[in-house]
Amino acid sequence: MIDLGRIFDIEGESLAFERQLDLSQVSQWGQRPFQSPVKVTGSVENRAGIVTLRCEASFVLTTICDRCLTQSDRPTVYRFEHVLARELNDEDNDDFIVVKDGLLDLDQLVTSDILLELPIKALCREDCKGLCPICGANLNETTCGCGKQSIDPRLQVLQDLLNNQN
Ligand SMILES: [Zn+2]
Ligand SMILES: [Zn+2]
């Protein structure tokens, strides 16, 4: 918890912070993507009565690709910004965070920010070709030719027939 009472009360006031989060127990895609600590730096600032939190989370994202099973360790940086307020008002703003009594659970906020930002699937890259279902070759690295040889020449006639129907 960080106490932002002073920041809310005094225009022009700001507070810088730096901390480390241990997310090694967090599970995503059935994996543990945060094997080393997440470094968080940022600040909270009151500018003309509007309190804004800006922060940057940097970490190594460890994933095992859903398709080709390759492990990758990617240095990743996410940036977040939220407007903070001590009480709700009518404003309809997605980035608007209510901080009761001026006390902010920074670790919890940053953790949920990071989890929301993670890709939906664990892929080594968007267009990963995966593994060949026949020989198991990694199709990102090699072309095995299995797909081409799988049709028996005697069946080819039938295959051509089917293709012509479309
Ligand atoms: Zn992959
Ligand atoms: Zn193959």
The answer to whether the beta carbons of residues 31 and 23 sit under 8 Å apart is: no
Q: How many residues does the chain have?
A: 166
The answer to whether the beta carbons of residues 112 and 40 sit under 8 Å apart is: no
What separation in Å is there between the alpha carbon of 151 and the centre of ligand 2? 13
112 and 136 both lie in a single domain: no
Q: 160 or 60: which carries more pLDDT confidence?
A: 60
- Amino acid (one-letter) located at 25: Q
- Which of 37-41, 128-132, 141-145 is predicted with the least confidence, judged by mean pLDDT? 141-145
What separation in Å is there between the alpha carbon of 150 and the centre of ligand 1? 24
Give a yes or no: residue 67 inside a domain: yes
- Mean local confidence (pLDDT), 54-75: 96
pLDDT at residue 37, rounded to an integer? 97
pLDDT at residue 55, rounded to an integer? 97
How far from 101 is each of 6, 65, 129, 160, CA to CA, in Å? Answer: 11, 43, 52, 73
State the Cα–Cα distance between residues 158 and 143, nearest whole angstrom: 26
What is the total count of domains within the chain?
2
What separation in Å is there between the alpha carbon of 62 and the centre of ligand 1? 13
CB atoms within 10 A of CB 57: 21
State the Cα–Cα distance between residues 31 and 33, nearest whole angstrom: 6
In the chain, the percentage of residues whose pLDDT exceeds 90 is 73
7 and 84 both lie in a single domain: yes
57 and 103 both lie in a single domain: yes
What separation in Å is there between the alpha carbon of 103 and the centre of ligand 1? 42
What separation in Å is there between the alpha carbon of 124 and the centre of ligand 2? 20
What separation in Å is there between the alpha carbon of 111 and the centre of ligand 1? 26
99 and 143 both lie in a single domain: no
Give a yes or no: residue 66 inside a domain: yes
pLDDT at residue 14, rounded to an integer? 96
pLDDT at residue 91, rounded to an integer? 62
**DSSP per-residue letters across 33-44:** ---SPEEEEEEE
What separation in Å is there between the alpha carbon of 156 and the centre of ligand 2? 20
What separation in Å is there between the alpha carbon of 139 and the centre of ligand 1? 9
Please give the structure tokens belonging to residue 32.
């543990």
77 and 38 both lie in a single domain: yes
Q: What range does the domain containing 154 cover?
A: 130-166
pLDDT band at 163 (very low <50, low <70, confident <90, very high): confident
- Tell the residue number behind the tokens 């009594």, with chain if given: 101
State the Cα–Cα distance between residues 92 and 26, nearest whole angstrom: 31
State the Cα–Cα distance between residues 94 and 91, nearest whole angstrom: 9
41 and 107 both lie in a single domain: yes
Give a yes or no: residue 71 inside a domain: yes
- Mean local confidence (pLDDT), 139-164: 74
pLDDT band at 100 (very low <50, low <70, confident <90, very high): confident
Give a yes or no: residue 125 inside a domain: no
From the CA of 129, which ligand is nearest?
A: 1
pLDDT at residue 146, rounded to an integer? 87
pLDDT at residue 165, rounded to an integer? 63
